[in-house]
Chains A and B, each alone.
Chain A
Amino acid sequence: MNLADTLNRRLRELAADFSADTGKIRTYVDLMMTVMGRGLVAISRFDGRVRREMQGFPVGFRFEMIALPDGPSTRLRVNIGGEFEPDDSAARPDLSIQFKHLRHAFTVLSFREGTVRAFANNRMVVDGDIAYAMRMVRILNRLQSVILPDGVARLAVKRFEPVEGKGGLALKIYGDVLAMSLKGAQP
């Protein structure tokens, strides 16, 4: 069994173990929202493909991903350099991806169900311009393909495409996420 399979199995065991405990689910979703948010900030700095997608967002564009009714969540804003940065304002986001329930967020963020499948299964709703939402989904797919082991990424995205130079890119992103964590950056 390779490392990806082992990680995949462990994640599923973890998911099964957490499934009855709302407090643990909330903690897990909170952690994953933070990792996803910081991962998006990092990948918008380092990955050419994501940088091209970012050109489709106007400066000041606000994005939110939230588990209803009151979080956990992650909030980002597009800065003047065309990169994501943490957004701690209370301004209404231009695009909000909302999980209808904490457990739905957990299902997706524990990679038991892909983002697109969860959307098709009515587990989440999009508030905002659909073209922006499609762009954001492509960026999320790319992030998951880069930072997750291939075996786990295959569960998260509709079509997994191997990423050239994945190891180096993933290291850069994890390094940036770690640096943000040490600085205590939001989200």
Chain B
Amino acid sequence: MSGAFYEFYCPVKMIAGFGALDHLPFELSSRDCRRPLVVTDRGVRAAGLLDIVLKSLAEAGIANPPVFDGVPPDSSTAVVAAAAKVYRENGCDSIIAIGGGSVIDTSKGMNILVSEGGDDLHRYAGAGALKRPLRPLAVIPTTAGTGSEVTLVAVVADPAKGVKLAFASPYLLPAWAVIDPRMTLSLPPLLTAATAMDALTHSIEAFICLGKNPVSDAYASAAIRKIAANLVKVVDNPSDAEGRFELAQAATMAGIAFSNSMCGLVHAIGHQLGAVCHLHHGTCMSLMLPYVLEYNLATSRGPIGELLLYLEGADAYAQTPPERRAEAAIESVRRLRERLFEKCKLPRTLKETGKIAEGQLETLARLALDDGSLSYNPVEADEKDVLAILKRAWA
């Protein structure tokens, strides 16, 4: 009976395709929004992506909207407050976030402040603190990985207090996720690979962890197919717009999957690698994924074996004996990592990153035990288990 109960929720309207951006003014007007604040970072501006959006808005009569482009790679409560100030000073009524995870989390955080009033984000930290809808938020991802455009969480650091504030509420879900392949065309191969491995891990963990359900499985498996079929192709040819679009859709679908069924031990360890060693989140996911899959074979041989169908296709799946499919799926992930190393030097081992000392592994293992993602992993793991996994991933 335990598998017979689940919840699934995703009210975000997806607008996807070449030129999807051009629909945004219509969508804004459908909610009577006339003055959006555009939130982004200087990298997005320098890459010319902001101009694409502003041009599209201007063509539809939203000329010169206010722009806040001061979002750093790791956002903070001060940045959120600064963005909220710009919103209020300009009499805005909606938000357009253009960027990756930090820009999107900043936009979600500032949406709390401009909707609820005040400048104290702490009041709204935790789960379920928000009790009413916020201002309409449109998200235009410029990476294909985080899936934040369809998740109900945000994380904002408070450096003064040395804490990271986590927010979880259905009201944090954006109104629109705009997936336009023009926005990811300029992503360099290494970042393309790392962010896609993030999306692959979201979908694989959604598919094998305890919160899996039939609806999230559908999104996860479709995302895995798209990533497996397109990632190497796009790394080889970064201007492959069709392939970029497939990866961008996959990232959003993976976001929908894991937002409903959550992630597992890869994320529990990866979050610590990011926090302690300042590694890119997608790189952390790629580093740990095969080792955690091996660890999870103890209880999850069935779903891991099924991954082979999505990673390698029907022929390979049919030609592999059922008792070998799980190992073959893990081998497929390893081969993908090898190819990404050859093509863009995405690290395969913790040692190859050059940012971790072997002596830090024990600290990382201890910290991983307090990460919420561990709850959803199908196999229990204690400090000794996590340390053993990290040692296997070392070199």
Q: Tally the A-B contacts, defined by beta carbons under 8 Å.
A: 56
CA distance A134 to B272 in the complex (A): 15
The reply to whether the CB of A154 lies closer than 8 angstroms to some CB of chain B is no
Q: Shortest CB–CB separation between residue B259 and chain A, in angstroms?
A: 12
Contact assessment for B371 and A134 in the assembled complex, using a CB-CB cutoff below 8 Å? yes
Query: Which one of B128, B166, B372 has the highest number of Cβ atoms from chain A below 10 Å of its Cβ?
Result: B372
Contact assessment for A113 and B372 in the assembled complex, using a CB-CB cutoff below 8 Å? no
Contact assessment for B127 and A127 in the assembled complex, using a CB-CB cutoff below 8 Å? yes
User: What residues on A are CB-neighbors of B209 within 8 Å?
Assistant: 120
Chain B residue nearest to A113 (CB atoms) is B2
Count of interface residues, chain B, beta-carbon cutoff 8 Å:
23
Within 8 A of B (CB), among A124-140: 125-131, 133-135, 137-138
Which candidate, B51-59, B316-324, B374-382, is the interface stretch facing chain A?
B374-382
CA distance A116 to B2 in the complex (A): 11
Secondary structure dominating the interface of B: loop
Given contacts A130-B166, A134-B369, A134-B371, contact A120 B128 (CB under 8 A): no
Kindly supply a per-residue 1/0 record for chain B positions 356-395, scoring 1 wherever the CB is within 8 Å of any chain A CB and 0 otherwise. Answer: 0000000000000111101110011000000000000000
Secondary structure dominating the interface of A: mixed
Q: Shortest CB–CB separation between residue A27 and chain B, in angstroms?
A: 23
The reply to whether the CB of A51 lies closer than 8 angstroms to some CB of chain B is no
Contact assessment for B374 and A123 in the assembled complex, using a CB-CB cutoff below 8 Å? no
Q: Which of A113, A120, A126, A159 contacts B376 (CB 8 A)?
A: A120
Contact assessment for A123 and B5 in the assembled complex, using a CB-CB cutoff below 8 Å? yes
Chain A residue nearest to B3 (CB atoms) is A121
Chain B residue nearest to A129 (CB atoms) is B126
The reply to whether the CB of A122 lies closer than 8 angstroms to some CB of chain B is yes
Contact assessment for B127 and A125 in the assembled complex, using a CB-CB cutoff below 8 Å? yes
Residues of B within 8 A of A (CB): 1-3, 5-7, 126-128, 166, 209-211, 262, 369-372, 374-376, 379-380
Cross-chain pairs A/B with CB under 8 angstroms, 18 sampled: A113-B2, A116-B375, A120-B210, A120-B375, A120-B376, A121-B6, A121-B211, A122-B6, A122-B211, A126-B127, A127-B127, A129-B126, A130-B372, A131-B372, A134-B371, A157-B380, A158-B379, A159-B379
